[in-house]
């Protein structure tokens, strides 16, 4: 069928353009970045965090239909022409050239605000803003809009949460996601299996948070653990839910 042939061509060409890792070139005057990924901003943030030891958290918006692409494998469609389709965030090429004054590795604020601003001009899905603490100990790149208009980040949800050291941190994280689901009306799941490693089973936390933003509650949970300091909150357009992954 012509429509399947067109899909197969687009699917193959798009995936061939993806880069497993962004190309990041540093000099004393410039930081030049080139990425191609369904989530190019998250891809670049991950690379910078690995290179420089920065603690950067990333959160997806709830992507709209205009933000996603049909990512169903052509081989599946040939065998199942009426089968279920799968979708992916429709990000693609992203480039940024950021002026720097000498070494910047000790100060992420020399890079991250300009990086987020460049992404918001790129035409890729979603718009974001950078948030940080006054002492710049941690950073959060949070969504402000998707293809259907402005959004409030889900981790802005005000919530109360209690955790005791009678259960391990994995159970506390699952309970956190359950409570955030209840308070926000959006399904959030802790994806332990898709995190980069997993918290140690013996780790526990003790926390009593009262009417605080979910992002701050999560930060306090991770501050008490020893395994992880940052997170990704990714929206699954197929399932219509968020997945919390630790890094």
- Residue 22 contacts residue 44 (beta carbons within 8 Å): yes
The CATH code for residues 152-247 is 3.55.50
CATH 3.55.50 range(s) for the chain read 152-247
- Digit-by-digit pLDDT tens for the chain (247 residues) are 566 889 999 999 999 999 999 999 988 889 999 999 999 999 999 999 999 989 999 999 999 999 999 999 999 999 998 999 999 999 999 999 999 886 676 789 989 999 999 999 999 999 999 999 876 778 999 999 999 999 999 999 999 999 988 788 888 999 999 999 999 999 999 986 545 555 566 788 889 999 999 999 999 988 887 677 789 999 999 999 999 999 8
pLDDT in the model for residue 88: 97
pLDDT in the model for residue 199: 52
- Nearest to residue 39, comparing CAs of 192, 234, 193? 234
- pTM exceeds 0.85, yes or no: yes
- Residue 58 contacts residue 232 (beta carbons within 8 Å): yes
């Amino acid at each position: 069928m012509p429509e399947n042939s067109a899909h197969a061509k687009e699917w193959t060409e798009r995936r061939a353009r993806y880069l497993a890792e962004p190309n990041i070139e540093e000099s004393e005057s410039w930081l030049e970045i080139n990425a191609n990924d369904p989530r190019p901003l998250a891809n670049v943030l991950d690379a910078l965090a690995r290179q420089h030891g920065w603690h950067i958290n990333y959160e997806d918006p709830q992507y709209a239909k205009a933000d996603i692409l049909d990512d169903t494998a052509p081989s599946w469609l040939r065998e199942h022409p009426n089968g279920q389709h799968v979708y992916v965030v429709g990000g693609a090429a992203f480039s940024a050239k950021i002026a720097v004054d000498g070494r910047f590795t000790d100060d992420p604020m020399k890079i991250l605000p300009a990086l987020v601003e460049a992404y918001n001009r790129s035409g890729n899905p979603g718009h974001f803003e950078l948030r940080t603490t006054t002492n710049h100990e941690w950073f959060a790149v949070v969504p402000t809009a998707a293809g259907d208009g402005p959004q409030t980040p889900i981790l802005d949800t005000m919530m109360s949460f209690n955790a005791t050291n009678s259960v391990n941190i994995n159970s506390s994280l699952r309970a956190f996601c359950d409570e955030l689901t209840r308070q926000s009306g959006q399904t959030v799941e802790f994806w332990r299996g898709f995190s980069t490693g997993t918290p140690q089973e013996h780790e526990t936390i003790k926390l009593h948070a009262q009417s605080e933003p979910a992002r701050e509650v999560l930060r306090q949970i991770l501050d008490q653990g020893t395994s992880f300091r940052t997170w990704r909150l990714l929206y699954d357009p197929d399932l219509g839910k968020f997945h919390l992954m630790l890094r």
